């Protein structure tokens, strides 16, 4: 539905009495965040239900695909649902501050943009476009720009940008790389502490798993269980990403270069991605990394793309067991001792 078909309405917050107008071209989410109210978010497009908020009254226009009919009598998703005019009363706690809350969005550094259109093609929310008035790399006419109101913060464009012109405002590329390094260092220290006279760090298989919002709970549970099962000698660590499609080739390479013996990406089943195509794009990147692993003699079977149904512990345990056994048979990755400390500032698709 286009913004021109939307109605302006008000939201009232019971805890504070605050009343805000929600114009036709904004969402309840935008207005709440701008006024300091923070609501948990994942997809920002009505598919996951993470931002469900209790409402006490109002003629709500439910536009999500996440809530059941019975849930809709009590909750609405603030990211997409609206009202048919009038006022919606929300049951939200008072904010910690009246300062605007940042929500995840992509930002373009125009002077680094080559106007390749990758971001326009990868964005399934029409948030990315080329602005002919902007000046791109080397003074070329035209550079990408992101409509922050349409952006869901999925990061598909950032992963696809060949020049690093796109950065996420919150979970920046450097932050993801730092997390990868920190988890691998933590994994090494746990390995050292838990080794015994008969087992050494060399017996351990360190697995790094990138997990999207729909897969993260299952992945965390399985990893915690697997890490306790010491005879397997697998230590699995989870890097949470906004979408599996946010995982770029540099992040995958850093996982290996900072010590992982095997890497898995856990994304949704085809057709189930919260951001439509992220899980398909990352599958291609995983295949490219498999080729790279072959070329440098590490073996392509150290990396695995897992299309996971949330809650399907059994298949994830099987896949993780197979991956760690395969990696264990090859021995620790030769890159394990070469923990890189430099953090790159550019990304690649």
Interacting residues with ligand SF4 (CB under 6 A): 106, 108, 113-119, 122-123, 125, 127-128, 144, 146, 151-157, 160-161, 163, 165-166
Nearer to ligand SF4, 149 or 291 (CB): 149
Q: What 3-state class would DSSP assign to 166?
A: strand
In the complex, least distance from residue 121 CB atom to ligand SF4, rounded to whole angstroms = 8
User: How many other C-beta atoms can be found within 10 angstroms of the C-beta atom of residue 94?
Assistant: 14
Shorter beta-carbon distance to ligand SF4: residue 118 or 234: 118
Distance CA 206, CA 236 (A): 6
Q: Is the torsion defined by CA of 313, 319, 322, 325 positive or negative?
A: negative
Query: Do the strands 303-308 and 262-268 form a parallel or antiparallel pair, or are they unpaired?
Result: parallel
Angle between helices 173-194 and 249-257 (to 10 degrees): 30
Q: Cβ of residue 279: shortest distance to ligand SF4, in angstroms?
A: 14
Rounded CA-CA distance 286/263 in Å is: 9
Token pair 């998703």 is found at 77
Distance CA 206, CA 190 (A): 11
Side-chain-side CA neighbours of 104 within 13 Å: the count stands at 23
Of 39 and 113, the one with the shorter C-beta distance to ligand SF4 is: 113
Cβ nearer to ligand SF4, comparing 156 with 223: 156
Least CB distance to ligand SF4 at residue 275 (A): 6
Q: Decide: residue 40, CB within 10 A, 0-12 exposed, 13-18 middle, 19+ buried.
A: exposed
From the CB of 174, what's the least distance to ligand SF4, in Å? 17
The least distance separating ligand SF4 from the CB of residue 63, rounded to whole angstroms, comes to 17
Based on CB atoms, which residue is closest to ligand SF4, 173 or 235?
173
Sequence-distant (≥ 6) Cβ neighbours of residue 328 within 8 angstroms: 205, 233, 234, 261
Contact 255/341 with Cβ under 8 angstroms?
no
Closest by alpha carbon to 144, among 104, 102, 103, 107? 107
* In the complex, least distance from residue 290 CB atom to ligand SF4, rounded to whole angstroms: 24
Write out the two tokens for 178. 């730092």
Instruction: Name which of 168 and 252 has its Cβ closer to ligand SF4.
Output: 168
Least Å distance, CB 127 to ligand SF4, is 4
| For ligand SF4, the closer CB: 161 or 207 | 161
Cβ nearer to ligand SF4, comparing 71 with 147:
147
Nearest distance from C-beta of residue 348 to ligand SF4, angstroms: 10
């Amino acid at each position: 539905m286009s913004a021109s078909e939307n109605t302006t309405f008000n939201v009232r917050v019971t805890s504070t009495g605050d009343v805000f107008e929600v114009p036709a071209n904004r969402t309840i989410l935008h207005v709440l965040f701008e006024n300091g109210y923070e609501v948990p978010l994942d997809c920002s497009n009505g598919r996951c239900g993470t931002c469900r908020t209790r409402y006490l009254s109002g003629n709500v226009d439910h536009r999500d695909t996440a809530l059941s009919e019975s849930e809709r009598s009590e909750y609405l998703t603030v990211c997409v649902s609206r009202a048919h005019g009038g006022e919606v009363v929300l049951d939200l706690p008072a904010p910690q501050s009246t300062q605007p809350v940042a929500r995840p969005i992509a930002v373009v550094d125009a002077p680094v943009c080559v106007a390749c259109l990758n971001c326009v093609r990868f964005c399934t929310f029409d948030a990315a476009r080329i602005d002919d008035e902007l000046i791109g790399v080397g003074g070329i006419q035209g550079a990408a720009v992101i409509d922050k109101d349409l952006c869901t913060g999925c990061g598909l464009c950032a992963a696809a940008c060949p020049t690093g012109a796109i950065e996420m405002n919150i979970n920046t590329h450097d932050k993801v790389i730092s997390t990868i390094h920190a988890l691998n260092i933590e994994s090494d220290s746990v390995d050292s502490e838990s080794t015994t006279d008969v087992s050494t760090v060399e017996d351990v298989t360190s697995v790094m798993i990138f997990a999207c919002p729909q897969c993260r709970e299952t992945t965390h549970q399985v990893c915690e269980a697997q890490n306790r099962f010491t005879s397997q000698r697998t230590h699995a660590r989870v890097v949470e990403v906004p979408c599996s499609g946010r995982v770029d080739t540099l992040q995958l390479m850093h996982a290996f270069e900072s010590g992982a013996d095997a890497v898995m990406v856990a994304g949704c089943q085809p057709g189930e991605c919260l951001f439509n195509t992220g899980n398909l794009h990352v599958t291609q990147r995983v295949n490219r990394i498999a080729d790279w692993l072959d070329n440098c003699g590490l073996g392509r079977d150290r990396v695995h793309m897992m299309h996971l149904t949330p809650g399907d512990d059994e298949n994830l345990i099987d896949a993780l067991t197979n991956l760690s056994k395969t990696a264990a048979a090859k021995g620790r990755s030769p890159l394990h001792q070469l923990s890189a400390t430099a953090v790159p500032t550019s990304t690649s698709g």
